[in-house]
Amino acid sequence: MRPWFALARLHVRCRACGRALGARHDESGPDGLGVALCPDCARALAPAAGGRCPDCGRSFRASETADHRCPDCLARPPAWDALALHGSYEGLLRDLLLAFKLRGRLGLAGLLRALAAGAWQRSGHAAPDLVVPVPLHPARLARRGFNQARELAVGPARALGLPLVPGAMRRIRDTPTQSGLDAARRTANVRDAFVSEHRLVGDRHVLLVDDILTTGGTLAECCLALRLSGARRVSVLAVARTPRHV
């Protein structure tokens, strides 16, 4: 008789597209994260090759394969001390993040958490003391029912064995959605929108987690609030970066 776990394996489905995987599949997923994926999805979700700016995460044209600081970041360093991300906000990764956030497909949380945790572990950055998700305003949280950044932040917090502290930061203004605004308007839109708790972040290294990094305006405002509360170091982790080439 087959042991129960061998039987269960026959019903394993790809965590991204739902295709039945049968008994033989690659359980390692991207970076050996232990997520069941079909070969197509594993390929589509593999961390992007090619050069990126380590500070802002923007990718270079295909001819540039090495990471190096882009001219913008050399002229004006970002608000955070270190950045990690999984890949570009396009293709399957974009579809999954949209389904998760806007259509409430919470079954995707495990896969997206694994991508977030893998991105941080791959980065090799110094270990943080606590993990803090970018907060939603209570009114928006009530409308959506969950904070996607908080759900994703569970991944790195568990993988690193660190406390997840959503209460370390609050959003005090219910700003209009950032989509459709240009970079300058996005920055103005989120100005003074966040406060953080000195007793929770003072003299600590905070890992700030969000789903998507676009212009970085929201994350920069969060970094500012954390530093005003005495955070010693702020690292940023986003699952995806909008693909704007330098």
Q: Which parts of 138-177 interact with Zn ion (CB under 5 A)?
A: none
**Piece of 56-64, 168-176, 191-199, 216-224 that binds Zn ion (CB under 5 A):** 56-64
Query: Residue type at 196?
Result: S
Please check whether residue 236 is in contact with residue 80, taking contact to mean a CB–CB distance below 8 angstroms: yes
Among 35, 41, 132, 165, binds Zn ion (CB under 5 A): 41
Q: Tell me how far, at minimum, the Cβ of 76 lies from Zn ion, in Å.
A: 9
Q: Are 212 and 97 in contact (CB under 8 A)?
A: yes
Q: Does 21 bind Zn ion (CB under 5 A)?
A: no
Residue of 21, 35, 36, 38 interacting with Zn ion (CB under 5 A): 38
Per CB under 5 A, 14 contacts Zn ion:
yes
As a whole number of angstroms, the distance between CA 114 and CA 185 comes to: 33
Closest separation in Å from C-beta 239 to Zn ion: 18
Could you say which DSSP state residue 209 is in?
A: E
Of the residues 55, 151, 210, 221, which one makes contact with Zn ion according to CB under 5 A: 55
Candidate ranges 30-38, 43-51, 88-96, 164-172; the one touching Zn ion (CB under 5 A): 30-38
C-alpha pair distances (Å), 39 with each of 47, 139, 244: 14, 40, 27
17 binds Zn ion (CB under 5 A): yes
Distances (CA, A) of 209 to 67, 69, 113, 238: 22, 22, 11, 6
**Pair of tokens at residue 27:** 């359980």
**226 forms part of the interface with Zn ion (CB under 5 A):** no
- 108 is a contact residue toward Zn ion (CB under 5 A): no
Interface stretch with Zn ion, choices 45-53, 109-117, 156-164, 203-211 (CB under 5 A): 45-53
**What is the distance between the alpha carbons of residues 54 and 118, in angstroms, rounded to a whole number?**
16
79, amino acid identity: A
Minimal distance in Å, beta carbon 126 to Zn ion?
20
How many residues interact with Zn ion (rule CB under 5 A)? 11
Tell the smallest beta-carbon distance from residue 68 to Zn ion (Å): 9
The answer to whether 9 and 33 have CB atoms below 8 angstroms apart is no
Residues facing 234 on adjacent strands = 206
Is residue 241 within 8 A of residue 86, CB to CB? The reply is: no
Q: Which of 70, 85, 134, 231 binds Zn ion (CB under 5 A)?
A: 70
Kindly list the residues in this chain that would bind Zn ion in the complex (CB under 5 A): 14, 16-17, 19, 38, 41, 53, 55-56, 70, 73
